[in-house]
Amino acid sequence: MKRRSLVIVSALVCLTPVLRPACFAQDTATQPASDLLSATYYQRMQSATLAAEDPGDVVFTINGTVRDADGEPVSQAVVVLCEGSTYRLSSSMRKPNSFNRTIGDDKIYMVDDMFARTTTDDEGKYEFQAVAAPKLGTRFHDSWNWSVAASSPAGDFGWQQIKKSYPGPIGITKEIDVTLRRSKPITGRIVAADGKPIDGALVSLNSIDRIVPGKRYLPSQDRFDGNGSSFNLYQRSDQNGQFRFPAVPENLAIQLFIRKAGHAFSGYRITSADVQSELPEKFVDASGVRLGPLITSPATIRPIPPKIVRGHVVDESGQSIAGSQVRMANTSTVVTTDDQGRFEWTTNEVSLRYSAENELLRFSPTSAAGKYIRDATFVSIADVIADEEVKVVLHAGCEVTGRVICRQTGKPIAGVGVAINLVGAIDNHALLMGSTDEQGEFKIIAPLDKVSIGINGPVSGFALPHRQTPRAVDQESDFVRQVNLAGKKTLVLKEFVVDAMPSIRVKVVDQDDRPVSGAEIKSFYQQAQGAKMNFGAERTLSAPGVSDKNGMCRLLPSAGSWNKAIVRAEADIDGERWYGQSIVDNARNDRAKVTLRPGWKLTGRVLSNGRPARNVNVVLMRRMDNGTGKAAGMFMSKHLDASSTDKDGEYSFTVAPNAVYSVTATNPSNQKTSRSWKLSRHDDNEREHRFDDIVFTTAGQ
């Protein structure tokens, strides 16, 4: 048999040499992209603009059946493949204009998180063949996720996760059925303080979750990410101030936002459920975001009275500073002082209370004529609400400049972090931070006091400590200088000289010692290493690499102090996913030889009251003791992947061999867990391992 090693083929799929997009019953928008007002998910999914594909990365072949809440097939349902919008949005916030959209005069953020679309046939079946997902952003690869979503012409909506965590270029084949949720209308009326209706307000429905959200590491199957998503629904209130979304999943909570010029509104979570119990006003969702109060449909919503925060920026002598930019109270809002050094910021009490940390609001100067320290002023929220003027005092400082170069070449190093703190400070946050430019230079206005100035990484290929705490910066070393800036206006530091680190030479071979090209290679070191590499929290040592035609790759470490590293590689060989790892000793400057072998297939089943439980999220974790069985390492696990159960309650994962894995499943409503995890066997000779059943039972049964 001819041997091949391809990056874009997985153990679950066989692709033709030339990838082609699926033939969709509908693969273009049926409404103008500028028409974003949609009352139902069916309308929104039909009209959404699809994201551009990246054929060389993650490729999906997905099929299944769309059923209603009673289990009956749904014909003519629109079905899409999509990605989690939060991580697409967050990874690209440095270029936010690419997501700017407008609805009338209202500006919104919206990512194109749908990338393929089709419709179901008369039997409710759908299929996507060799569909490429969009190119990933630069961050959050471990949290990136993909789902399939569907909606009926009546507007009923359902979704199911396909995969979480990016393993590298891969092809994924799965059969996934989607069950549509039962729906109810979400309605409300928007009125002013005097009871008069507010017409023309833009009302949007965003993320969906349980009334009490799931845990961050294991969100429930009821959560749907709508942060900046093209799934979001938009309507305007009519002349009576009323709005109506006719079909929204029932008994769940949906984020609701309202915009209207001249008015301020809180963010809410609205539900069609009959909520009897008192619930906390603040929740944190699965992404760690604070959520607004819960209200019930039909709801009467009033704007929040505006609050004008007034402030004055002065220097130490009390002189006003004009043209100073100040960031308001932990928000993204930046205001500029007028000729008298004064500013005004229109907000509301609810926003202020959500922005407060320990009852304090932070006001941070972002620029001030280049001679003042950019340190923050903290003001009691009670004083701000009581209309006391915020006084921001800027302190004159010393302009500290410096340069970072490579010892071996003398060339400048860009992207090196610079942290400044007062000597003896006990605060865990650096007072000031910056970084070097392309010429390896930095400039920071520092306090007129005794300070520690430290440089840090990571920067690939250089021996820099990771970002240092003030306690670490407080001790002089090759990376830290202590200087007394009292009475100084400028100071030029002696150059910081940093050693280039030797690369890690990696060779990837198969079991017959033949080189493997196109293998994805990653390296890690352990933050708290045991004497024999027994356990510890893994940290990335270098940027990923790919083996060349000779199986070779060079990795550039970005950590200055590591003893041993784990180099992991994986590739597709003859349609199967192969894995391998090797331990590298920094002191010996080892060459890592990674021998790939076929992966393990881990399977299992989830039961609910003795019957197969479909569409249950299952999370896979790997134990961090590297198979040694040390007690401390047994309690540390790395989240690797997530999947969902099929109609038979079955799930499966393909993983690297010779490690210890566990699985955890989300708990269906009103049920308790009798068993939620089981360690896999540690056996070289077995390629398939099955977990014990995960069993859920309803209380009293």
Query: DSSP states of 265-330 as a string?
Result: ---EEEESS---S---S-EE-TTS-EE--EEESSEEE-PBPEEEEEEEEEETTS-B-TT-EEE-TT
pLDDT of 478 strictly over 70:
yes
Name beta bridge partners: 325.
336, 367
CB 521 within 8 A of CB 541: no
Question: CB-based burial of residue 612 (10 Å sphere; 0-12 exposed, 13-18 middle, 19+ buried)?
Answer: middle
This prediction's pTM:
0.70
Q: Which helix (H) or strand (E) element contains residue 45?
A: helix 41-47
- For residue 484, what are its two tokens? 């007394």
Q: Would you identify the CATH topology of the domain 306-394?
A: Immunoglobulin-like (2.60.40)
With tokens 């009956």, the residue in question is 72
- Asked if residues 651 and 643 have their Cβ atoms less than 8 Å apart, the reply is yes
Taking residues 645-673, what's their average pLDDT? 77
Categorize the per-residue pLDDT at 701 as very low, low, confident or very high, splitting at 50, 70 and 90.
low
Return the higher-pLDDT residue of 285 and 420: 420
Burial 87-114 (b: 16+ CB within 10 A, else e): bbbbbeeeeeeebebebeebebbbbbbb
d(C-alpha 46, C-alpha 48), whole Å: 6
Rounded Cα–Cα distance for residues 641 and 515 (Å) = 28
Rounded to 10 degrees, the C-alpha dihedral 227/232/238/243 comes to -90
Number of Cβ within a 10 Å radius of residue 231: 26
Per CATH, the homologous superfamily of domain 600-698 is Immunoglobulins (2.60.40.10)
pLDDT in tens, 542-583: 888 899 999 999 998 887 677 788 899 998 888 788 999 888
Q: How far is the CA of 283 from the CAs of 206, 268, 288, in angstroms?
A: 16, 11, 9
| Percent helix / strand / coil, the chain, rounded to 5 | 5, 45, 50
Architecture of domain 398-498: Sandwich (2.60)
CATH class of 183-301: mainly beta
- What is the average per-residue pLDDT within 76-105? 75
pLDDT at 698: 73
pLDDT above 60 (res 532): no
Q: Which two tokens stand for residue 231?
A: 């799934």
pLDDT tens track for 24-81: 333 544 444 445 777 899 999 998 889 888 776 789 999 999 999 999 999 999 999 9
Per-residue pLDDT of 395-443, as tens digits, reads: 888 999 999 999 999 999 999 999 888 887 655 455 678 899 999 999 9
Is the pLDDT at 230 greater than 60? The verdict is: yes
Which H/E stretch holds residue 186?
Answer: strand 183-190
- 3-state secondary structure labels for all residues of 86-100: HHHHHHCCCCHHHHE
Checking if the pLDDT of 669 tops 60, the result is no
Q: What is the pLDDT of residue 443?
A: 92
Q: Where are the alpha helices (DSSP H) in 48-202?
A: 85-91
- The closest of 621, 635, 689 to 657, measured between CA atoms, is 689
Specify the fold of 504-598: Immunoglobulin-like (2.60.40)
Residues 342 and 310: beta-carbon distance below 8 Å? yes
Provide the residue ranges of all domains of the chain, joining segments of one domain with +. Answer: 5-179, 183-301, 306-394, 398-498, 504-598, 600-698
| Per CATH, domain 5-179 is 2.60.40.1180 | no
Q: Are both 5-179 and 306-394 of the same fold?
A: yes
* Summary mean pLDDT of the chain: 79
Tokens linked to 591: 């060459």
